[in-house]
Amino acid sequence: MRTELIILGVDPGLTRCGVGVIEAGAYRRLSFIHVDVIRSSIDVSQDLRLLTIWEGLNAKMDEFVPDVVSIEQVFAQHNINTVLGTAQVAGLAMVAAAQRSIPVAVHTPSQVKLAVTGNGKADKLQVERMVARILNLNKLPDPPDAADALAQAITHALHPAGELQGGEREQHLTPAQRQWAEALKKQQQNKSRMHGRGM
């Protein structure tokens, strides 16, 4: 049985949609696979921009065949047009995953910052630096959308059963995800035992 987990992270955006792919292996080892930004031109109508993002997301999912897709949760912003476009792209990512029966997870920006840096209020540069460190990258991911997508994937690797969408969470876990979740649970239990012994 394959125990490695391929996670595709999505930082949704209409102009730039970040896509990051990592592998979660044994002993919580995380490895970099791919990062890219799918771009759409502001000079064309929104339907065509969404089509460009849609085609890009489909191509990435077909190429990397992820076990799970982790998407940043969209929050209301002052610019209503920006948040609407971002929400539409997040929806496209969910549908692309659903068509392939790939579980979808959603994590908030604060959850991502906390998981990656240990600080839920970390700035973008701190996140970028920690992403590079965790994945042993020689340079910071660029542009920031790329780093955010990798951070999404990392967050889900650290919280495998956290925010899966729809139904009972455990029913949506793949065999690889279950093994990853069980390993994380055992590690947490061991830490609790050691703490209880005053170690």
The SS3 assignment for 48 reads: helix
pTM for this structure?
0.79
CB atoms within 10 A of CB 63: 11
CATH number at residue 20: 3.30.420.10
The answer to whether the annotation marks 67 as part of a ligand binding site is no
Q: Could you give the residue ranges of the DSSP H alpha helices within the chain?
A: 46-64, 80-99, 109-117, 124-134, 144-158, 175-196
pLDDT of the residue at 165: 41
Q: Which domain holds residue 91?
A: 5-196
- Kindly tell me if the per-residue pLDDT of 137 is higher than 70: yes
* pLDDT for 19 beyond 70: yes
The mean pLDDT of the chain is 83
Which residues are identified as catalytic? 11, 72, 145
Q: How far apart are CA 136 and CA 190, in angstroms?
A: 27
What are phi and psi for residue 161, nearest 5 degrees? -110, 15
The model's confidence at residue 160, banded by pLDDT at 50, 70 and 90, is: low
Q: How far apart are CA 171 and CA 81, in angstroms?
A: 36
Domain count, the chain: 1
Q: What pLDDT is recorded for position 83?
A: 85
47 is in an annotated binding site: no
Was 128 annotated as part of a binding site? no
Cβ contacts of 130 within 8 Å, gap of 6 or more: 116, 117, 122, 151
